[in-house]
Amino acid sequence: QTFLINGPCNNIFSRCYYIATYYVQEGRSLLFSTKGNRIRQYVFLVALVIIYSLLSNPQVTNAQLIFKFENPSMLVGTSEIVRMFSSCLSSKKEQGNGDTDLKVRQWIAGVIDGDGNFHISKKGYVELSVVMEPRDIACLYKLKQRYGGSVKATSHAKAVRFRLHNLKGILQVIKDINGLIQNPVRFAQFKKICKIYQVETNFKIPLNYNSAYLSGLFDTDGSVYYNKKSKQVFISVTQKGRELLDILVAVYGGVVRSSNKNATAFKWTVSKKNEVLSLIDNYFHWNNCISAKNKKFGMVKQFYHLSSIGALNAPEDSVLGKSFLQFVDRWEATNNLDN
């Protein structure tokens, strides 16, 4: 028992099973008495499995908050099972896997690199603005919730703008994204505002696959679309320069090409089926986008399925043809500004 509780957290599920089995067989009590009640015994075992499922999913932050203790050894009087999970979570946090605030800051850096801009007035005042489509206003409210500022429609009402210029909020932004900015243009702006507030600019932290940075960049400059003729799905990010996009290729694969004849803009694209599905399952599943674009990820597999059964080329009045038309309607609905 002591070994299971205090040992390494290499296999949580196995330890849950053995701990549950021990208490079921011995009639001991952890969270409630299981003695003489077989239904409670099974409920207790199922509860352990559910807890394991919650804690092993980094998207379920509520469970992490419930079991988030800075010093598990100070939890005197709490159940051994809670202390076990607390220790495991602390261990994961030390490894950088459980730092949800880091994920938020990485996402913010991606958003600012995409559609953000630091402006310095003639009097030396700093303002951060992020402009996005109305359908993606949830991203801007997430920034407002963290830093203050305002979210308003632009003068032509075809976009919404987050604007921040209060000192406390600007200093928090600097603290949050220092070292996380990857866009050369934005990094140059960031260095100037750091100089104004006498803050040392950290070196860029190399982008890694699990960083939430890409999800923030995708929320602003990304897109998911399909080509009916080639039967392909494309995941892309567009930028005026290609330096940032070349970084994405090194980490996530794909290719970078000029998106116009004058080479004034470039596009990073992933189009191979296995790479598209891998990016959705292994990255965006764990690093959710906030924008409406996120809805398209759940439809990509359906597109591939319809393609595999011939629905894309079927007559529109056939069963398969109607299925594809329904798919197209749902796909286009994600572009609705009201979504």
User: What is the per-residue pLDDT across 158-217, written as a single tens digit (0 to 9) for each?
Assistant: 899 999 999 999 999 999 999 999 999 999 999 999 999 999 999 899 999 999 999 999
Residues 219 and 325 placed together within one structural domain of the fold: yes
65: in domain: yes
Residues 280 and 255 placed together within one structural domain of the fold: yes
Q: Write down which residue in 50, 78, 94 finishes a domain.
A: 94
Residues 242 and 327 placed together within one structural domain of the fold: yes
Q: 3-class SS at 230?
A: coil
314: in domain: yes
Residues 49 and 135 placed together within one structural domain of the fold: no
Q: Which of 164, 89, 93 is nearest to 125 (CA)?
A: 164
Q: Write down which residue in 169, 196, 223 finishes a domain.
A: 196
258: in domain: yes
285: in domain: yes
Could you tell me the CATH number of the domain that includes residue 264? 3.10.28.10
The reported pLDDT for the residue numbered 259 is: 81
Domain count, the chain: 3
Question: How far is residue 35's CA from residue 26's CA, in Å, rounded to a whole number?
Answer: 8
- Would you tell me how many other CB atoms lie within 10 Å of the CB of residue 319? 9
pTM of the model: 0.70
- Three-state SS letters, 122-178: CCCCEEEEEEECHHHHHHHHHHHHHHCCEEEECCCCCCEEEEECCHHHHHHHHHHHC
DSSP conformation letters of 78-137: S-HHHHHHHHHHHHHHHTTSS-HHHHHHHHHHHHHHHHEEEEE-TTS-EEEEEEE-GGGH
Residues 90 and 183 placed together within one structural domain of the fold: no
Span 310-329, average pLDDT: 95
Q: 3-class SS at 188?
A: helix
Q: What is the span of the domain harbouring residue 243?
A: 213-333
Q: 3-class SS at 204?
A: coil
261: in domain: yes
72: in domain: yes
Q: At what angle do helices 137-147 and 100-115 cross, to 10 degrees?
A: 120
Taking only the tens place, the pLDDT of each residue in 56-75 is 444 444 434 333 333 433 34
Residues 190 and 220 placed together within one structural domain of the fold: no
295: in domain: yes
Taking only the tens place, the pLDDT of each residue in 112-141 is 999 999 999 988 899 999 999 998 999 999
185: in domain: yes
The reported pLDDT for the residue numbered 21 is: 45
The reported pLDDT for the residue numbered 51 is: 53
Q: Write down which residue in 35, 63, 94 finishes a domain.
A: 94
